[in-house]
Amino acid sequence: MTNQTKSQFIAVASITSELSAVMVVAKEISLAAANAKAIAFRAGDKAKGFQPITDFINELAKETIELVTNINIYALVLYRLTVDEYQKTVAYNKFELAAKMAEDAPYAKSMQEPVDHARLSMQDCQRQFKRDVSQLLGQLEAVMHHARAARVIAANSRIEASQAGEYLQSLQAVAESVDKAAHTIHDNVQRCRIALSIYRNS
């Protein structure tokens, strides 16, 4: 296996592992939102500004989970494509080797067609992989966007929390955990993007 193939396998595998971490964190955000809603309800008027924010956080978490689920399906397709490309590359190299070894054979020329065919299907796989990576990068970008939005909301929550009197601390804790989670999601997704970006369609 060449180094390039190895790193392609690793890049694809790393998406799945990074994303499973993102999934855990997104579920945490969703939990934090439910928690915040309960606190805001109890705080009543004091946390009036906080209530729509909790809905928004919840919505964001749900969307992130949905996106990641989709991306995981995509990552599986990408994995299969990597296996396929690997097998086609092995075949192409072996066909070329056979053609070279058969140089002086009377029927050496008949190997040309399988060699050409193997090269084309290997290149097809490579192109398809690049196309799919570009699409996946787009979807990862959407998750990043959500993470950035969550951080803005967390900042707003902190301001709202400061008006909530005795609920200040618990609401601030909520804002804190949303911010932390969004940060983790952002970092993980960023790592996925970096791992994949070298395979992007240029």
Partner 1 sequence: MKTTKIYEGSHQWIMFGRDEGKPNNVIDTNQYVVRTANRCLLLDPGGAELFAPMMAAVLHHAPVDQITDLFASHQDPDVISSLGLWDQALTNAKLHAPAIWEGFLRHYSCESIEYVAIPDNGGTIKLESVELQIIPAHYLHSSGNFHIYDPQAKILMSGDVGGAIEGPDAPVFVENFAAHVEKMRYWHQRWMPSNQAKRVWIERVRNLDIDILAPQHGRMFKGDDVKRFLDWFDALQVGIAV
Closer residue to partner 1 in complex, CB, 96/176 = 96
Nearer to partner 1, 99 or 137 (CB): 99
Q: Which of 98, 144, 168, 173 binds partner 1 (CB under 8 A)?
A: 98
C-beta closer to partner 1: residue 45 or 107: 107
**Single-letter amino acid code for the residue at 36:** A
Q: Is 2 in the site for partner 1 (CB under 8 A)?
A: no
C-alpha 120/C-alpha 92 separation (Å) is 9
Read off the tokens for 3: 């180094």
The answer to whether 172 and 79 have CB atoms below 8 angstroms apart is no
Which residue type occupies 44?
Answer: G
Contact track, partner 1, 103-142, x by CB under 8 A = --xxxxxxx-xx---x------------------------
Cβ(92)–Cβ(118) below 8 Å: yes
Sign of the C-alpha dihedral, residues 55, 56, 61, 65?
A: positive
Q: Which residues bind partner 1 (CB under 8 A)?
A: 87-88, 90-91, 94-95, 97-99, 101-102, 105-111, 113-114, 118
